[in-house]
Structure 1
């Protein structure tokens, strides 16, 4: 352990440091604008592929340019947006499948209030507390809005009443406690919409009956362990994207299960390497989901177009072999 002694440096000094380390900066004015918008610290993660390995002075390789670094940053930003778009589709679809299966099976709009449907180790009461807090916070927000409406001097009593009715319907989390007294919490189909992807993943993993989990997984053509693993993985990836963290060449801290049966479409190159630590496996499982839930979407084409547009990006660092897009998996249609 040692004391931290690195000094604070402004943008001008940051540019000087980069030049001193051997980075070519053709347009310093543009570089300054970029560093004013994207911090030096955030950008440093994108510098590493262009620096000499294990050099304690962080020297850049010969020919490395500031433009290469900013292009890598822009590629990663666009990749995250594309990945988030697919995760959104998956998340919405899983919510719908869980709701459409469990509600009718147990003939109960409030099925999740039955403790027996969940494993003993599942954080069941945290789920209830989450939904209760959502309703409580939304109700308090409505009450504050109602007080502001009541104080408005430019509205008639009739207008105020109509406005409060509209405000009450703006979210189900406030509409339910304003409308119903029993049960205390909203029905399952609304509850699921209030959960984060992580909450949804935990709920699926926490279901007590394997028959329920298998039925939900079958809706996506998957086994129960695969769906459970993939939801956990996508939760991690979503959090990376939501925090605008580097994704493109990241070695994943979580390894999703890979399909073991030929009945599940999967790239041949991943069947042989079984590499599940890079972003290549993430886009493969997202493409699998897209084939199930939105087969006519252009997501796959958008991904390939992005990688072709940034042809200078080292796709091997993402876990892709050469000519990966010609694998039969990427031409699969339903």
Structure 2
């Protein structure tokens, strides 16, 4: 094992960056960013500016980065990329809040008509979700529904002092699904939707133009991944998405489901149903057009987000 790298003062960190070829036009401002954001967080944003070792890259069959930066790399552009990513995350959270609220209501309205406690009643959900026992891992021996109920109880405990929770627990001993949705997070929502009966999934998926209920269930899982990245202030703009959704039939072949841009397209698709007069799509287009720090040598490019040439002329992004 290698020893951990030594601690460095903020001034030494800045000097190291300059020594590796980073152009710093305003050292005082750069030092302020290092003190407020941290060297390690910012390192994810200057990573694309690091030079590639051609010999090691050929030997290993993948790009190997050197510690030195490509000529013309500027600390100012690193900060601009960080700010762009922050605004991208905020746009994602804005869209995902509306999507989460709307789908919650759809699920509660559909299932609640049959049983106010449908979320706790295995008979109202799919058999694979409520009967199939998990074979491996920390949840082995339990069904997915039992795991979900455990997380639901944890959420219920956290909200135990909320007036509406107190009222329902004291008066009825439980929350009906239309009240229970108020304590769900996106993860609880996506997992319960995945456990619904196929016909019910299809009913809700059709509202949003999804190819199938199964596809919509995967959309929700993928969007929950994007939501978690954004909510935890992690780098989003060029992240490799781990919860992949299939690209719907008829959508551009240039889309890449491993890149975040595709999931912003899904958000736009859903928002056009939920709030068709929203300016969210235009704000997204403006952010990419006006605030992304495009490097002259293309070391940093929107293609790493997953955007493709002419995307803003594709139907979902045009004003209705």
TM over 0.5, shorter chain = yes
Aligned to 1:26, the other structure's residue is in SS state coil
Instruction: Give the equivalent residue in structure 1 for 2:279.
Output: 298
Cα RMSD (Å) of the superposition?
A: 1.8
> For residues 158 and 46 of structure 2, what CA distance do their matches in structure 1 show?
43
Q: 2:176 aligns with which of 184, 187, 191?
A: 187
Cα pair 1:132 1:185 within 8 Å, conserved: no
Shift of 1:128: 3.3
Cα pair 2:85 2:237 within 8 Å, conserved: yes
Instruction: Give the equivalent residue in structure 2 for 1:251.
Output: 240
5+ long unaligned stretches in structure 1? 143-169
The residue correspondences of 1:23-38 to structure 2 (distance < 5 A) are 23-38=22-37
Instruction: Give the equivalent residue in structure 2 for 1:101.
Output: 110
Greater Rg over alpha carbons, structure: 1
5+ long unaligned stretches in structure 2? 54-63, 133-142, 295-300
Shift of 1:31: 0.7
TM-score, structure 1 as length reference: 0.81
Tell me how many residue pairs correspond in the alignment: 289
Q: Deviations along 1:173-232, whole A, 9 cap, x unmatched?
A: 223223x1x4x321111112211111111101112x211111121122222122011001
Shift of 1:135: 4.1
Instruction: Give the equivalent residue in structure 2 for 1:125.
Output: 146
Q: 1:224 aligns with which of 205, 213, 226?
A: 213
Moved more, 87-96 or 219-228: 219-228
Shift of 1:242: 1.0
Q: Deviations along 1:217-266, whole A, 9 cap, x unmatched?
A: 11222221220110010111111111111111122222211112x4xxx4
The residue correspondences of 1:126-205 to structure 2 (distance < 5 A) are 126-139=147-160, 142=161, 170-178=162-170, 180=171, 182=172, 184-205=173-194
TM-score, structure 2 as length reference: 0.85
Instruction: Give the equivalent residue in structure 2 for 1:321.
Output: 308
Aligned to 2:73, the other structure's residue is in SS state coil
Closer, same or farther in 2 for the Cα pair 1:56/1:114, shift >3 Å?
closer
Q: Deviations along 1:22-45, whole A, 9 cap, x unmatched?
A: 001111111111111101000000
